[in-house]
Structure 1
Amino acid sequence: MPQYIPPQYPPAPAAPRHGRTFGILAAVVAVVATAIGVGAATLGHQQSDIAGPGTAGSVRPVDSQTAPQSLDEAVRRVVPGIVLINTEILGFDNRSGEFGNTGEGAGTGIVLSADGNILTNNHVVEGSRDISVTDVGNGRTYKGTVTGYDRTDDLAVVHLTGASGLAVAPLGNSDDVGPGDSIVGVGNAGGNGSPVAAPGTVTATGKSITASDESGAAEQLTGLIQVAADIQPGDSGGPLVDKNGQVVGIDTAASQGFKMGTGGGEGFAIPINKGVKIAQQIQAGTASNTVHIGPTAALSISVTSAHGTGALVNLVDGNGPAAAAGLQKGDVITGVDNTLIDSPTSLTSTMDQHHPGDTVTLHWNSRLGGPRTAQITLQEGPIG
């Protein structure tokens, strides 16, 4: 049986960040990860489907006999049900102007089912080509595949190929969380390759923040739990644990390519009730205006905010479909089919409604002058 390795106190400093990376339309990257190799004794129940918070089989009963006697014990209950995520980022190389491996990322995930369904932040896996996931409960490493994602709520479900018998994280009820509650954020802080605990308290619920990436695309994250805890890059996607040893939130941290409009010393988490509801939708294969199922469609370009309206093209992959259609650096995308594109955010949202192999009509203003239109068949690109 693998040896249990307790989470570290206090959190380790963030690892150095290497390289600048660009995704299809945006770059969303965590910090560089080191090699991961950690084992833990299997703990907690197992299930093959995703149970919602408060339902039978998903919440560990807590009473005076079983309640944790300390936050450290509470964390020990949850740690076997988390995973450490490493990604290889596929993006634009600024020197060559072409797609390639441009960096690595690290994050955390929460085990929702024994057969390997993992809940994490979308920005942990966005822009990645290869995902390697180490289960803390058994110490094994698996290949991860993104089942689907919700960019608006910054959530994604990753499935671990060949996984079985994983320890499932005990889920609590985030509706019961309130200011003053003691919590612990647990994750792969700084990408150091082992669970790190960040104790603190809840300071507010129902908070909203604006998150943006290097392209200028922005999303409003709402209904968040605000905490006074040292949540760091690499913790993203990890559990926010209450005093009962149950997961009540998904830690969400700023990173190299994922910026949040907040001051220092603040941490945030997505309520677990919301996270599980979206995960169930993704697992059911139900796409929506915000939920994308399956591989990501790519124009194979990088964009940023234009001086006026539209999305300004700042890099074009010479081997991609946009280049074949004549799109060039400095052009401004103004529409996709009948949808007006007024910003990188609207282009990202529109692309999320498509899949590899779809044909779209792209409209843009050429840097050489005049409007242009072309039919483009989308290819598969990096995740998200």
Structure 2
Amino acid sequence: MTPIEPVPDGPEAGPAHSATPSPGPPIGSLPRWIPDQPYPSVPMAATPRGRWRTRIVTGLAAIVLAFCAGVTGGYLAHRLDGTNSIIASVGAPAAGVVDRDSLARVAAAVQQSVVSIDAGTAEGSGVILSTNGYVLTNNHVVSMARGRTVQLTFAGGRTATAGIVGTDTAHDVAVVRANGVSGLPAATFGDSQKVQVGDAVLAIGSPLGLQGTVTAGIVSALHRDLRGPARSAGTFFSITDAIQTDAAINPGNSGGALVDRAGRVVGINTAIATAGQSEGNIGVGFAIPSNTAKQIADRIMTS
């Protein structure tokens, strides 16, 4: 079974999401067993928009989508139509995937702009938006923070308390601001509309609490639509045109950066597909497009 789960933060597991796979052969070989669910299942809605768009409907295969935040919880199961395949990786490997020197330079630069976030009930990652302390992350990383404050750890080990500036539950985006800091290395954002299948990418964050972890892969597919219950009772999130990647993403990566070969942030890591009850990476991760995340973050900061 190839379940899909949003990347959990720290000690807790977040809500599950489903992704809409592209047409393909039946998946009759996949187990029909679905893990126990602490939350009610919610069908995943997706509007076809090109050949990469898919729909999650009742079928033979069980798919689980979980947050990339390390949070305790479980999985929401969704069924994938037996006539659809979840794998949509195409194209020849990008040259940058094997260019270790180039990737090392990008990783060293971007790591400085990615922070670890401890929200008490969850742990995740964040991307520095400005020199004066604004940080972009996922709503599910910070939504349960006590007192609307979280602890940030910057590259190099410096820490700071941050207050939640605002959240967008519907799109799983949040902005926090660190107190008493200045001169932070803000990340450079790229145009996610220019991302292509096969592009080399790096995922940077704090999986399992291991800050500054870098993994490499490619963009496996585009235009994935994810929808599911948010961590706040009675609310839902919806991510349109999510970027799918095979770069290893694990619990704690939520809110971290997906960057291109030039070191530009093209996505915010949010969800992963998992097999069975495992929360680990199986090569199917999802990121909110940078254009979407940045637009929402700008609105939050100016509202």
Give TM class, smaller chain.
0.5 to 0.7
Alpha-carbon shift at residue 76 of structure 1 (Å): 1.1
Match of 2:198 in 1: 180
Alpha-carbon shift at residue 15 of structure 1 (Å): 9.7
Alpha-carbon shift at residue 116 of structure 1 (Å): 0.1
Report Cα offsets for 1:102-138 as digits up to 9, x if no partner.
Answer: xx321000001000000001111011114100121x5
Q: Point out which structure has higher relative CO (alpha carbons under 8 A, 6+ apart).
A: 2
Which among 58, 69, 72 is matched to residue 30 of structure 1?
69
**TM-score using structure 2 length:** 0.63
Residues 141 and 254, structure 2, Cα contact 8 Å, conserved in 1: yes
Residues 125 and 252, structure 2, Cα contact 8 Å, conserved in 1: yes
Match of 2:269 in 1: 251
CA gap of 1:146–1:111, structure 2 versus 1, over 3 A, is same
Match of 1:353 in 2: none
Amino acid at match of 1:249: G
CA gap of 1:254–1:124, structure 2 versus 1, over 3 A, is farther
1:205 aligns with 2:203: no
Match of 1:120 in 2: 137
Which among 108, 125, 132 is matched to residue 76 of structure 1?
108
Distance 2:249 2:68 in 1: 16
Distance 1:68 1:264 in 2: 22
CA gap of 1:147–1:107, structure 2 versus 1, over 3 A, is same
CA gap of 1:143–1:71, structure 2 versus 1, over 3 A, is same
Residues 68 and 245, structure 1, Cα contact 8 Å, conserved in 2: no
Alpha-carbon shift at residue 212 of structure 1 (Å): 2.5
Structure 2 unaligned segments of length 5 or more: list them.
Answer: 1-7, 15-37, 39-66, 73-98
Amino acid at match of 2:151: S
**TM-score using structure 1 length:** 0.50
Structure 1 unaligned segments of length 5 or more: list them.
Answer: 1-13, 23-27, 34-66, 89-103, 286-384
Alpha-carbon shift at residue 209 of structure 1 (Å): 1.5
Alpha-carbon shift at residue 221 of structure 1 (Å): 1.6
Which among 128, 133, 136 is matched to residue 152 of structure 2?
133
Amino acid at match of 2:69: A
Identical amino acids, percent of aligned pairs: 36
Q: CA RMSD in A?
A: 3.3
Which among 257, 276, 295 is matched to residue 239 of structure 1?
257
Report Cα offsets for 1:302-361 as digits up to 9, x if no partner.
Answer: xxxxxxxxxxxxxxxxxxxxxxxxxxxxxxxxxxxxxxxxxxxxxxxxxxxxxxxxxxxx
Residues 133 and 160, structure 1, Cα contact 8 Å, conserved in 2: yes
Match of 1:220 in 2: 238
CA gap of 1:82–1:172, structure 2 versus 1, over 3 A, is same
Match of 2:289 in 1: 271
Which among 155, 162, 172 is matched to residue 154 of structure 1?
172
Structure showing greater Rg: 1
